[in-house]
Structure 1
Amino acid sequence: MKNMISKLQGIDFKQSDIVRKDMHFEYRSRPCHYMEDVDQWATRYGGAYYNYLYLIENGEEVTPPLGMRSSVPLGGFGAGTVELRADGSLRDWNIFNNGPASGLKKIVDEAMFYVWIKREGKEPLLKTLRTHPPAFAPAIDQITYSGAYPIARLVCTDDALPMTISLYAYSECNLYNEQASATPAVTFSFILENKVEEDLEMSLMFVLPNVIEGTYCIDENMLKLYKEGTKQDSGDMALIVEGEGLSITGVQAESLYGIQRHYGAYGEFPDYMRKPQKENPIDGAVGRMYYKPRMKNYGCLSAKAVLKPHETKQVNVVLAWYFPHRFHAGENLGNYYADLYKDARDVGEKVLKRLPETLEAIEVWHRICYDNTLPVWLQEAMVNSLATIAKTGMWFGDGRWRQWESFSCPGVDPIHIQFYRVMPYAWFFNGLRRSQLLGFAACQQEDGYIQENLGRGTDRLDQPIGRMMGDGCTTFILQVYQDYLWTGDRDYFHAMWPAAKKAVQWQINRAKAYGLPHHLNNTYDWWTFEEKDMVSYNAFLHLASLLAGEKMAKLMDDSAFASVCRQAFIHGQQVINDTLWNGSYYLAWKNIKDKQHPDTLLSDTLYGQLWAEILGLGLTVDADKLTQHLASEQAINNSPYGLKVMHEEGRERDALNGMLYSPDQEIPRDELVWEAGSLDWCALNIYRGGDLDESLKEAEKIYTKWQNGLQDQWDIRDLTTAWNGEPYCNSHYARQLILWAIPLALSGQQYTAIEGKLSFNPRVTEAAKLPFMTPQACGTLEITQDNNFALRIVSGCLHVKALYIGKQLVGENMVLKKDEVFRGTF
């Protein structure tokens, strides 16, 4: 236990904030296009209002402390999550298979921890570990919240407490092991320190409301809540307590107030009260006229101990769940974790045995994200990026992994969104990404077209309901190449090549009319691109996918098809330059027959070129034109909160002067920030040799907005306004995981498992420590100004035949295991 205490206390949190019981919070109505709301998965579409939390000070709306609007989601990949907020409340319960396809949101306000303390000769002291508990419950004075996925910390302080209470809440997350990251449980580790020169009798209690309308049972150190049947909430939950010198008791009752009264007096429950009785004194403690419980009944588990003067003790409480019946559009597809565990007790007991390994895995993840010289805002963005996988992922009983676009827009794996969020998958959990790719290949049309998605919440899984898109086939092609390039798995590549080749051929066929694919929508779908002859965003993805198609054809010894790809690329490149280049930038779209057309500039036009850089495919157009286009995006579409998504001649608006559109007005589509545009601009500008400070400042706008301005970094939306930076559309979005292109651009990392070659071309001008990531291993590259370097493995095992820094070969035939370091000069 002492080793665990030191590990927990040694966890580095970059951001913290304080919630006090005298703070007043309110939800206020805000306009949006559509959004996830407090009590529903989505508002109405197309101009609506949602509720956003504010701190009210002197009647004014103020951004609330970090951890109040959103917090670290706790749970497993595809297993459901719950959030422990900065006020100590547990929110966003979606562990009951209650996602957009099969249920409603659940608010479980009475789930909470209590602490009880008794000093010699004094009355017992009772507090909830919440600053704003239900009205009858005693509040704690103050909580300091910190979070860095997959762990959060609450430090609870109160002038009346003769002890310090630190609560760490965390989940299992293991790089390169998706199964070990799919555990349906949260561990709450309490570190309790006696601050006085006398013994303290103290106790912790967790209240678990009967949210599933099931049956409680208590067995030694476990409280179990179970429900028979095959409904989505049939299954069980378990609370299991572990610690040295604990007296553990539990009880179930109708009245939460009654539980509180008895626990407040004794800090535990005597034997005669632990089984429901007709005249249970807890049930009758308060008459119905005084308190009407919100839930049918309650179960609780308490752990009592004595703390010696200045003694520190750790108590672990695991909340585990096991709900094997996940429904999707009425079909019971089950949960993958049901194959890993027998019930909630099995989950909880195994989680407790694995706690040392769990903390080590968290430390590894944090080292990748924090042990470097990257800006703090980028470190924070990286460490919390995996949260969306846990939050919106689904892992079905038959092994299929799928992910919502978002809860408020419940498409299943729209490929144009899935590709933006693919990098952490491809490096750390590639088995999950391959499941998605196999799904796209299985749903491919006969003519080669890759469908936009794998269904919606109202449709059977893997029954696509989508549009004709310019970023469907292209992103599939690039992913197939990316997988082979980074894994070297020839068998998987051979299995996927037929589908990839058909997708390339579809792109070529679609471009026959104009030389570029025509009349196709894309992820920026508010501009009716399907009505346009040519769209630059689609064109750059098209050119990048042709380069990937050519590479793959050569790898398959298909020289004829490689030549077809090359000719299509040359023709497409000529057309985009002749038709869409206006001398300063590439027009967002053009209709060939129109004699006049507006100057239009879409931020993120060059997304396809960014992927060409990441995958080492080369240039899609002249380097000078790329540089000019990037400069134009910055000059024309700039705003304090990120790049405005579109400039359209004749649609200029001045919305930066506090103007707030209401849902009754026209959607301010051009005056919005689609967050990924600034991130892509930053990474590509670095790749193209742009100024580092200018590049990073553009991306920093996005993350400082969420981390500091809105203090809502665990619920990043896809769109915000350019006039005040507030959320405008979607929820718990993952397009922003393209942020991982930024550290790649800074290090200039290129990795080909096919050749066994890892190379770096750092863009930094000073000594630096940068992360590197591959599907085999990850770690850091440290370089000094006198051209020394150290390559350190943090996780996995790296096999390379050749290691390059710049153009210099610095290592050959290397096998580096975890914690090993290779040093040299360049």
Structure 2
Amino acid sequence: MMCKYLMSILVSLICTINIIAQEWNKNWPILKTFEGKYLDEVAMPLGGIGTGTVSIGGKGDLRDWEIMNRGAIGYLPAFRLVKPTIANGPFFALYYKEQNKDAQIKVLEGPVAVKDYYGDWGSEAINSGFPRFEETTFAAAYPLAQINFKHTDVPVDVRLESFNPLIVGDEDKSGIPVAILRYVITNNTDKPIETSVVGMVPNYIGVDGWTGEPKDNFNEYRENDNIKGVYMYTNGVDKDDVNWGTMALTTTSTEEVSYRTSWAKLAWNWTFREFYDDFLADGMLTDHPELEKNDNEIKRGEHVGEVFEVRKDKIKTPPATLAVKQVLAPGESKEVTFMLTWHFPNRKAWDIGKPKAGVEQENVGNYYTTLYDDAWEVATVTARDFDVLENETVQFVSSLVNSDIPTVLKEAGLSNLNNLRSQTVFRTEDGLPFGWEGTGSIHGTKIGTLKASGWGMGTCSHVWNYESTTPFLFGNLSTKFRETEFLYAVNEDGAQSHRIGLPLKEKGTSFKHWAADGQMGTIIKAYRDWQLSGDDAKLKELWPNIKKAMEFAWTGIWDTNKDGVMEGPQHNTMDISYVGPNPQMAAWYLAALKASSKMAGHLNDKKFEKECNTLYTKGSAWIDANIFNGEYYEQQIPEGANKTAQLGKGCLVDQLVGQYLAHTADLGYVLDKNNVQTTLKSVMKYNLVTDFNEHLNTFRSFALGNEKGLIMSSYPKGELLDEPFPYYTEVMTGFEYSTGAHMIYEGQVENGLEVFKNVRDRYDGFKRNPFNEGEFGHRYARAMAAWAGIPAYTGFHYSAVDKTMKFNAKDGKYFWSNGYQYGTVEISGSNDEKTIILTSKNGALNLKSFTLNDYGIINFKKVKTFNKGEKVKFIIVKS
């Protein structure tokens, strides 16, 4: 009797331990947790660079299905058997059965949002009739998200771990078209429990929320040594169609797997009921195949080498359904891993989802589909490499999250990194990358009802200039962006098309518009990327057109008197053309001149080096002497010029954006340091709005109520123009991040962190999605300027050309990444001497010297190699 009593206590303790230990995956880092109302808008995209995504919602649902070559926020591939409203969409659900009790099913989602309670036929939420969990909690450090499901009457704990591989410096491993969902289930009772997790995804190949329709779609059960699952294909959609491809829902589980290649097509709501009753009976699925073998004739094509006929009661988008059943001992935890994979090869050139009659868009293809034959191969390869992919992803994110960098900088940098992996970015069949400004929603704008799957075609240079995510995490990909700009977008006279046409070889320069900020910014980025890569061969390849683009500044329409100052019409990211000298174009121009001088010097082009340096010196002195008003820089509009859509005397939020980018490239100051620092203090003083209830905004509203943010321009000295540039009253996160990061670079850390915090407070999960910062469209490219806050705070600079690395001298453990390698540096010591422990976590790093900014430097006797994983210690004495 005593043994039984002790055993029951032991089991109870085991269960208690498991409840505590299973709350979160302790190996996965967490940056932020969302719960209650702050879950409403949370939707984290899952997918790879250039592949499209599907998002995991804060309550466990799958939403925003954007895997078919177009941005389609809001699209959910539900099939409706009772129109207009009874529908079933993708879901995962839990079956559980305790001994001597009836079996139960709960959809693995939290409660339906209150905003979805009310419609013409009741709730319009998909799967709203499913029994569900009472509460969820969402914890994330992108791309790792965990969801805990809570219900007082459910005898098991359930946690979802969802992610996709993200590995610094490896755009292919970070470009896998996969969403991974791992459910961890823990038995909290003293008796065994039967459980089964089922997933359902409709085979909706052929329709993407914009165009097309499914036709002859079928599902097939398959298995191999790595995976079991349902392969989705079509026999009816044209193989050249933008929506043609394959999908797969698979599991790596070795437990008892059952499946349905479709559901029974019945009247009324009985189709769902039949599935539910079947699954409830024993946690297993009974198949309802839509193909029946027919040895006499071919009625609709061939399938797997055998002849089949199609059932008359076929569902157009047959549900691919997969279940994994297992028994949990008391206190035991088990995992069930599912993978959703896809393969859609037919991307059209700058496709906005609204084909024009009679206009055939060229197929530019997808790079990721050249790496795999179909969605089944994606799943097979991913399963084979699963542990390595997860471990490398967790190692990267943990290295950042566990560093002594302020949380808001880590959160902003990681959360906006997802923009690089959304439909904002794609890679054509040849591997070259391109980007929209932002992606579209199938619902369009509520004001004006304009719709587009992509907003702002052409990797718009004056937008993409702001982002600092790609170069520091995926250096090779960043260099490929420079290839598209300088090998294909520079015209004969040196003018650079600031929107790149596709197909590239035929239409790269077809957009005959030049942007002064865009063109100068790409030159600075070419210098930065060369420094990070050390690739002299690539620099030499790009140099003729870099030089030509730089010369256009004075042979074209901008600096026509060649004095280092732009006076001519300067088209820019405000979608207007400044006339006369102004700070925004001045800083871009000066930084480009300085970068060009350094590249020319390295390539022994002494004449051009001197020419650029002379213009830089002359222009920099003139700007500081003539347009700095003691508090900030202002535009000098020529006498008699048209003042419509100009800045004038305004204090512009990003007036020093060229200096910001120069700092990320370690170019030093291009304007007077004191003036620069005074200007940033003025921006914080005059442009920060702390209550938008009291602010007049005449254009788009990206901040409302009592939110805070930096507006585009203020007029503290009066003289607001009657018709100023259109965006002057708005806030936009990319401008805020670049300015906030610049403040941190200048040592104004408190102000910079406040700027970042104000943005992230607006994207809090309740008011807006923390993984979707918009501007002209969703997941806007400019918001990836957020990453710059990380190197700004640490003072990190790296040159593969000179083999040098730099950091601020502040004690702590800091993350670093140069686009190829990443790692940590630990700094400790006194005013006289610092101990450094440097680690490279994913590859060998070669250094000639290591500098602590404003403290000291160590020059190694010969090039020192820091091998992968080694912790190398050395001392720096204060100089």
Give the TM-score category using the shorter length: 0.7 to 0.9
Gaps of 5+ in 2: 1-17, 79-87, 113-125, 206-213, 266-270, 294-312, 352-360, 441-454, 691-707
- How much has 1:18 moved relative to structure 2? 2.8
2:702 is matched with which residue? none
- CA RMSD, 1 decimal: 3.1
SS in 2 for 1:471: helix
The answer for the alignment partner of 1:431 in structure 2 is 476
Q: Percent identity?
A: 22
In structure 1, what is the Cα distance between the partners aligned to 2:755 and 2:71? 35
- The answer to whether structure 1 residue 322 and structure 2 residue 343 are counterparts is yes
Shift in alpha-carbon separation, 1:356–1:438, aligned structure 2, 3 A: same
Q: Residues 572, 404 of structure 1: CA spacing in aligned structure 2 closer, same or farther, 3 A cutoff?
A: same
Among candidates 65, 72, 92, match of residue 64 of structure 2: 92
Kept in 2: contact 1:456–1:465 (CA 8 A): no
Equivalence map 1:558-597=2 (5 Å): 558-593=605-640
| Alignment gaps of 5+ in structure 1 | 20-63, 279-291, 654-664, 719-728
Task: Give the direction of change, closer, same or farther, for the CA distance of 1:546–1:592 in structure 2 (3 Å limit).
Answer: farther
2:560 is aligned to 512
Deviation of the 1:466 alpha carbon: 5.8
- Say whether 1:250 aligns with 2:260: yes
- The corresponding residue for 2:705 is none
| Residue 809 of structure 1, CA deviation | 3.0
Residue pair 2:63, 2:75 contacting (<8 A) in 1 also: no
Q: 1:782 aligns with which of 813, 816, 826?
A: 826
Q: Give the distance between the partners of 1:461 and 1:268, measured in 2 at CA.
A: 55
User: Does 1:195 pair with 2:183?
Assistant: no
The one-letter code of the counterpart of 1:688 is E
For residue 224 of structure 1, report the CA deviation from its aligned partner: 1.7
Per-residue CA distance 1:777-826 (angstroms, 9 max, x = gap): 22222222423222222332211112222453335122112221122332
Q: Shift in Å at residue 411 of structure 1?
A: 1.5
Structure 1 residues 70 and 144: alpha-carbon distance in aligned structure 2, compared to 1, 3 A threshold: closer
Tell me the secondary structure at the aligned position of residue 731 of structure 2: strand
Q: Pick from 244, 248, 254: which aligns with 1:238? A: 248
2:765 matched to 1:715? Answer: no
Name the counterpart of 1:418: 464
d(CA) in 1 for partners of 2:234 and 2:871? 52
Amino acid at match of 1:705: R
Q: Is the CA contact (8 Å cut-off) linking 2:202 and 2:320 kept in structure 1?
A: yes
Distance 2:275 2:64 in 1: 25
Structure 1 residue 619: Cα displacement = 2.3
Residue 180 of structure 1, CA deviation:
1.2
Aligned partner letter, 2:201: L
Deviation at 1:8, TM superposition (A): 4.4
Out of 227-236 and 111-120, give the one that drifted further.
Answer: 227-236
For residues 431-486 of structure 1, give each alpha carbon's deviation from its aligned partner in whole angstroms, at most 9, with x where no partner exists: 22222211112121111111111138999863543633111221121122112222
Change (3 A) 1:740 1:523: farther
Aligned mate of 2:174, from 155, 176, 181: 181
> Which of 734, 743, 760 matches 1:703?
760
Partner Cα separation in structure 1 for residue 521 and residue 641 of structure 2: 30
In structure 1, what is the Cα distance between the partners aligned to 2:594 and 2:744?
22
Corresponding position: 1:356 with 2:387: yes
Q: How do 1:651-670 and structure 2 match up within 5 A?
A: 669-670=727-728
Counterpart of 2:559 in structure 1: which amino acid?
A
- What SS class does the counterpart of residue 187 from structure 1 fall into? strand
User: How far off its partner does 1:383 sit?
Assistant: 2.3
Match of 2:742? 684
How far, CA to CA, are the matches of 2:521 and 2:197 in structure 1? 52
**Cα distance in structure 1, aligned partners of 2:378 and 2:850:** 43
Partner of residue 5, structure 2: none
The separation in 2 between residues aligned to 1:197 and 1:5, in whole angstroms, is 17
Query: Judging changes above 3 Å, is the alpha-carbon distance between structure 1 residues 306 and 82 closer, same or farther for their aligned structure 2 residues?
Result: same
The 1-side partners of 2:655 and 2:76 are apart by 40
CA distance in 2, matches of 1:134, 1:595: 58
CA contact (8 A) 1:331 1:460 kept: no
Q: Does residue 217 of the first structure (1) align with residue 220 of the second (2)?
A: yes
User: Would the alpha carbon gap of residues 635 and 261 (structure 1) be closer, same or farther in structure 2, given more than 3 Å must change?
Assistant: same
Aligned pair in 2 of structure 1 residues 121, 358: CA closer, same or farther (>3 Å)?
Answer: same
CA spacing shift, 1:547–1:268, aligned 2, 3 Å: same
Classify the secondary structure of the residue corresponding to 1:822: strand
| CA apart distance, 1:222 | 1.4
More displaced, 201-210 or 642-651? Answer: 642-651
Aligned match of 1:750? 797
User: Is the partner of 1:252 in helix, strand or coil?
Assistant: coil
C-alpha contact 1:776 1:798 (8 A) present in aligned 2:
no
Secondary structure of 1:450's aligned partner = coil
Aligned length: 735
Which residue in the other structure is 2:701 paired with? Answer: none
Q: Which amino acid aligns with 2:54?
A: V
The verdict on how the C-alpha distance between 1:556 and 1:306 changes in structure 2, with shifts beyond 3 A counting, is same
SS at match of 2:798: strand
Q: 1:592 deviation in Å?
A: 4.3
User: Aligned partner of 2:260: which letter?
Assistant: G
- Picking from 624, 630, 644, the partner of 2:711 is 644
Q: Is the 8 A contact 2:662 2:668 kept in 1?
A: yes
Equivalent residue for 2:98, pick from 119, 122, 140: 119
Cα deviations by residue, 1:577-619 (Å, 9 ceiling, x for unpaired): 3432223221045224469995221111111112222323232
Question: Superposition pairs for residues 617-632 of structure 1, below 5 Å?
Answer: 617-632=667-682
Secondary structure at 1:121 match in 2: coil
In 1: Cα distance, 2:185 partner to 2:74 partner:
37
Q: How does 1:68-467 map to 2 (within 5 A)?
A: 68-99=40-71, 105-108=75-78, 110-131=89-110, 132=112, 134-212=127-205, 213=214, 214-220=217-223, 221-228=228-235, 229-253=239-263, 254=265, 255-270=271-286, 273=288, 296-328=317-349, 329=351, 330-391=361-422, 392-408=424-440, 409-421=455-467, 423-441=468-486, 442-455=488-501, 462=508, 464-465=510-511, 467=513
Residue in 2 that maps onto 1:726 = none
* TM-score, scaled relative to structure 1: 0.83
Give the equivalent residue in structure 1 for 2:35.
Answer: 18
Counterpart of 2:130 in structure 1: which amino acid?
A: A
Q: Whole-Å Cα distance in 2 between the matches of residues 342 and 686 of structure 1? A: 47
**Quick one: which amino acid aligns to residue 771 of structure 1?**
F
Q: How does 1:729-808 map to 2 (within 5 A)?
A: 730-762=777-809, 764=810, 767-786=811-830, 787-806=834-853, 808=856
- Deviation at residue 129 of structure 1 after TM alignment: 0.8
Question: Could you tell me how far 1:772 is from its partner in structure 2?
Answer: 1.9
Decide whether aligned partners of structure 1 residues 699 and 428 sit closer, same or farther in structure 2, where only a CA change above 3 A counts.
Answer: closer
- CA contact under 8 A between 1:187 and 1:318: conserved in structure 2? yes
For the 8 Å contact 1:790–1:823, the answer to whether it is kept is yes
- Alignment deviations for residues 124-159 of structure 1 (CA, whole Å, 9 cap, x no partner): 101111233523322222221122222221211222
Separation in 2, partners of 1:498, 1:6: 58
Residues 1:400 and 1:458: Cα distance change in structure 2 (over 3 Å) = closer
State the 1:550 CA deviation. Answer: 1.0
Secondary structure of the equivalent of 1:425? Answer: helix
Cα separation, partners in 2 of 1:435 and 1:772, compared to 1, 3 Å? same
User: How far 1:388 moved relative to its partner?
Assistant: 0.6
> How many angstroms apart in 2 are the aligned matches of 1:579 and 1:134?
65
Q: Distance in 2 between matches of 1:668 and 1:501?
A: 33
SS at match of 2:335: strand
1:268 partner SS: coil
The whole-number CA distance in structure 2 between the counterparts of 1:432 and 1:339 is: 17
Separation in 2, partners of 1:448, 1:111: 51
Per the TM alignment, residue 420 of structure 1 is displaced from its structure 2 partner at its CA by: 1.6
For residues 517-567 of structure 1, the C-alpha deviation after alignment (integer angstroms, 9 at most, x for no partner) is 2344454415x3x15223320111101111111111111111111111122
Partner of 1:61: none
